[in-house]
C-alpha cells in the first residue's frame, strides 16, 4: 500500500533521525517542485529547519498524515530567504500547535482513576 504524498499544507512526521531532523519531528509541506521527471517536496520542520524530499525519501523517512493545515495550504513558495522570513514571522505557526501534555499540576486526560483505600 502506497502512503499519501505530501502537498502544500499537509503535515508530516519524521520516522528516522538524520543530520537535519530528529525522529518524531513534525513538519509541514510548503512546496511541491519538479525533481527531474518526478515531484519533489520542500518540508519545513517545527524548529525552523527545512529539507527537500524525493518520492523515495518520502517513503523511507516521512509519515505523511492525512491532515492538512488550512492556514498553510495556500502558501506560495517564492525563495528560501522568504520561506525562512515567513517562518520567523509566524506564518507556519498554525501547523505546529503546542502539544497537549500533562504536567505535575494537571491530571492527564487519559488517566485511570485510582481508588483511595478506606
Does the model's pTM come out above 0.75?
A: yes
pLDDT (0 to 100) of residue 4: 79
Say if residues 77 and 83 touch (Cβ distance below 8 Å): yes
Question: Could you report the per-residue pLDDT of 27-77, keeping only the tens digit for each?
Answer: 999 999 998 899 999 999 988 888 999 999 999 999 999 899 999 999 999
pLDDT of 69 reads 95
Evaluate the CA torsion angle 26, 27, 28, 32 in order and state its sign.
negative
Q: Is the dihedral of CA 58, 47, 81, 19 positive or negative?
A: negative
pLDDT of residue 22: 86
Q: What is the pLDDT of residue 1?
A: 46
Summarised one tens digit per residue, pLDDT across range 62-117 is: 999 989 999 999 999 999 999 999 999 999 999 998 875 555 555 555 555 556 66
Amino acid at each position: 500500500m502506497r502512503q499519501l504524498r505530501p502537498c502544500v499544507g499537509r503535515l508530516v512526521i519524521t520516522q528516522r533521525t538524520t543530520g537535519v531532523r530528529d525522529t518524531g519531528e513534525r513538519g509541514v509541506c510548503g512546496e511541491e517542485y519538479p525533481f527531474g521527471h518526478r515531484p519533489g517536496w520542500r518540508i519545513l520542520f517545527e524548529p525552523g529547519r527545512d529539507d527537500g524530499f524525493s518520492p523515495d525519501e518520502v517513503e523511507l523517512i516521512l509519515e505523511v498524515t492525512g491532515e492538512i493545515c488550512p492556514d498553510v495550504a495556500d502558501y506560495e513558495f517564492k525563495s528560501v530567504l522568504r520561506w525562512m522570513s515567513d517562518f520567523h514571522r509566524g506564518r507556519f505557526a498554525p501547523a505546529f500547535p503546542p502539544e497537549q501534555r500533562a504536567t505535575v499540576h494537571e491530571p492527564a486526560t487519559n488517566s485511570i482513576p485510582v481508588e483511595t483505600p478506606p
